Amino acid sequence: MCLAVPGEVLELLPDNMARVQFGQTTIDLSLAFVEPVQPGEFVLAHSGFALTVLDKEEAAAQLALWHEVAAIMADENAAAAARAS
């Protein structure tokens, strides 16, 4: 299974690339598979490629789900650590 993560386009780079921020991580992605984007827009990315462009509302909804999953995983990890000790 593959997971695609939404990120915000920070700047356009040469050769159809963009610098994209995912939380506190910034990486350069290929824009070969999407229509033209502008800084401030959001893309769904996987394996170094932007796969689709998201509007801000959809990006916000998906990011909220990612934060919810992260919180659940943190709770589960804390519970497992408590059981192990």
- Write the pLDDT tens digit of every residue in 43-83: 999 999 999 999 999 988 988 988 898 889 988 888 888 88
The pTM of the full predicted model, rounded to 2 decimals, is 0.78
- Report the C-alpha gap between 21 and 6 in whole angstroms: 9
Burial class from Cβ neighbours inside 10 Å (0-12, 13-18, 19+) for residue 10 reads: middle
**Can you give the residue ranges of every domain in the chain?**
5-84
CATH number of 5-84: 2.30.30.140
